[in-house]
């Protein structure tokens, strides 16, 4: 009897999370980076809350995007090095679905913590509490999109030396639309406007990248074995 | 790299892939497992090319490569429940039996990173046993094993073949599998 697909996906998700928590520095690093950058901004620019509020959307989004980028290269590297990737390819389960599970686990360990700490950092930059909901939603969709796009980059640069430089070059341009609409949504919310438009566009980008990325990643992972 | 290689494996057969270093033993095994695509020719399983339904072919084979396919931060038991669990539902009792069989009963809660190279190989072999796949593709399975380990592993392979399984083994020394003769494919 074969393991059902949902069981296999749950196993991959749980396994990756357990491993991430056993190497907790990989979870802590993006959060520390995100916190450092946003707390340094008032020191470098101006402690005036009114001025900070004007740039808060952009600052929070740039810091979160770069912080989420930090963890991307670890996505498949260890699996490739220890041979478990080989075993996953030969597990007899549809690879694209297992890849989707791994992307979800990666987002839970690297994107979700950023979303959860973002309200605290936003308040320190003078963002009104009405805008926090839009901020968290936009960051959740944005980091999700980045995990999905980043998985393609991580799979394509597997086995390359200095792959991490190439990974940033591959993924950042693709993530630019998310940055533009995400920062715009937060900015609109800060000024009391309805941010529905940019949020819907972000949602569409998230759905598109989540649907197409597993197919691209599984093809790239098979190539990485050759 | 490889040219004009042809081999058949039937149920109850052991094929030994021999040849000097760098001649392409691992490449051949990876082609057989479907991890590499041959430039010309192909691999058929039960009369059909493996590419027609790769996932169902993969479900019938257990592959042991150069790397053991173990997570350093998982314990021996977790490694087996994770890797084997992807293929078929596996119980804790089955895992404990397999670990006892390969002589790792005392190490089941230890993380794989503290185990020796030989113990890694034994753990990887326990995974191959537990997958209950009819075709075993083993790349240098005896590496790092001590004398007793080699004998135990040979016994495990013999039992697999007794039960109607097949094994393709790449090794420098001809494997001495109890009760069974070994067909040799020499790549040199």
Residues B129 and B101: beta-carbon distance below 8 Å:
yes
How many domains does chain A fold into? Answer: 1
Residues A179-196, mean pLDDT to the nearest whole number: 93
Q: What is the per-residue pLDDT for B2?
A: 81
**What percent of chain A is helix, strand and coil (3-state, nearest 5)?**
85, 0, 15
What is the pairing mode between strands B48-49 and B44-45? antiparallel
Place of tokens 């020394």: B173
CA distance B119 to B139: 16
- Cα–Cα distances in Å, from A148 out to A84, A109, A185? 21, 14, 21
Dmax over Cα atoms in chain B, in whole Å? 48
Confidence of residue A160 (pLDDT cuts 50, 70, 90): confident
Nearest Cα of chain B lies from the Cα of A164 at a distance, in angstroms, of 22
Beta bridge partners of B48: B45
Q: What is the number of alpha carbons within 13 Å of residue B170 lying toward its C-beta?
A: 25
| Residue contact A84–B73, C-beta within 8 A | no
Q: What is the per-residue pLDDT for B82?
A: 94
Per-residue pLDDT at A159 exceeds 80: no
Per-residue pLDDT at A125 exceeds 80: yes
> Whose CA is closest to B121, among B167, B166, B75, B64?
B64
Interface probe with B: pick from A25, A82, A92, A226, most Cβ of B within 10 Å: A92
Nearest Cα of chain B lies from the Cα of A29 at a distance, in angstroms, of 19
Residue A118, Cβ density class (10 Å: 0-12 exposed, 13-18 middle, ≥19 buried):
buried
CA distance B176 to B178: 6
CATH superfamily of B1-60+138-188: P-loop containing nucleotide triphosphate hydrolases (3.40.50.300)
Residues B83-95, mean pLDDT to the nearest whole number: 94
| Residue of chain B with shortest Cα separation from A2 | B88
Confidence of residue B70 (pLDDT cuts 50, 70, 90): very high
Its pTM stands at 0.92
Q: How many CB atoms lie within 10 A of CB B77?
A: 19
Nearest Cα of chain A lies from the Cα of B87 at a distance, in angstroms, of 5
Chain A residue numbers touching B70 (CB-CB < 8 A) = 82-84
Residues A16 and A109: beta-carbon distance below 8 Å:
yes
Domain that holds residue A32: 5-224
CA distance A61 to A143: 10
Q: What is the per-residue pLDDT for A173?
A: 92
Torsion of CA B131, B132, B135, B137, to 10 degrees: 40
């Amino acid at each position: 009897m074969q393991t059902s697909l949902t069981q296999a996906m749950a196993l991959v998700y749980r396994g990756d999370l357990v491993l991430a928590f056993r190497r907790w520095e990989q979870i802590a690093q993006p959060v520390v980076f995100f916190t450092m950058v946003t707390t340094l901004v008032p020191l470098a620019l101006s402690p005036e809350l009114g001025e900070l509020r004007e740039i808060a959307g952009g600052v929070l989004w740039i810091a979160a995007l770069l912080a989420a980028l930090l963890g991307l290269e670890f996505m498949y590297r260890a699996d490739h090095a220890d041979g478990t990737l080989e075993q996953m390819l030969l597990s007899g389960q549809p690879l694209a679905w297992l890849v989707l599970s791994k992307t979800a686990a990666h987002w839970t360990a690297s994107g979700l913590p950023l979303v959860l700490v973002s309200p605290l950092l936003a308040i320190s930059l003078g963002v009104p509490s009405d805008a926090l909901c839009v901020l968290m939603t936009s960051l959740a969709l944005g980091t999700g999109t980045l995990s999905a796009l980043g998985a393609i980059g991580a799979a394509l640069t597997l086995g390359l030396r200095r792959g991490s430089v190439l990974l940033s070059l591959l993924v950042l341009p693709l993530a630019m639309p998310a940055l533009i609409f995400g920062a715009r949504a937060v900015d609109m919310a800060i000024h009391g406007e309805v941010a529905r438009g940019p949020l819907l566009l972000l949602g569409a980008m998230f759905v598109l990248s989540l649907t197409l990325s597993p197919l691209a990643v599984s093809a790239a992972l098979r190539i990485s074995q050759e | 790299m490889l040219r004009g290689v042809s081999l058949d494996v039937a149920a109850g057969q052991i094929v030994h892939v021999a040849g000097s270093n760098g001649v392409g033993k691992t490449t051949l095994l990876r082609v057989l497992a479907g991890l590499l695509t041959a430039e010309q020719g192909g691999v058929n399983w039960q009369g059909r090319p493996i590419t027609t339904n790769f996932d169902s072919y993969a479900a019938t084979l257990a592959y042991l490569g150069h790397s053991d396919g173990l997570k350093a931060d998982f314990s021996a038991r977790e490694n087996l429940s994770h890797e084997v669990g992807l293929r078929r539902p596996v119980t804790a009792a089955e895992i404990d039996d397999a670990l006892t069989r390969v002589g790792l009963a005392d190490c089941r809660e230890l993380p794989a990173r503290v185990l020796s190279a030989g113990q890694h190989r034994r753990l990887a072999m326990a995974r191959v046993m537990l997958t209950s796949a009819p075709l075993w593709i083993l790349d240098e399975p005896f590496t790092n094993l001590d004398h007793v380990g080699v004998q135990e592993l040979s016994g495990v392979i013999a039992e697999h073949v007794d039960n109607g399984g097949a094994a393709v083994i790449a090794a420098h020394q001809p494997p001495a599998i109890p009760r069974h003769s070994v067909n040799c494919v020499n790549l040199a």
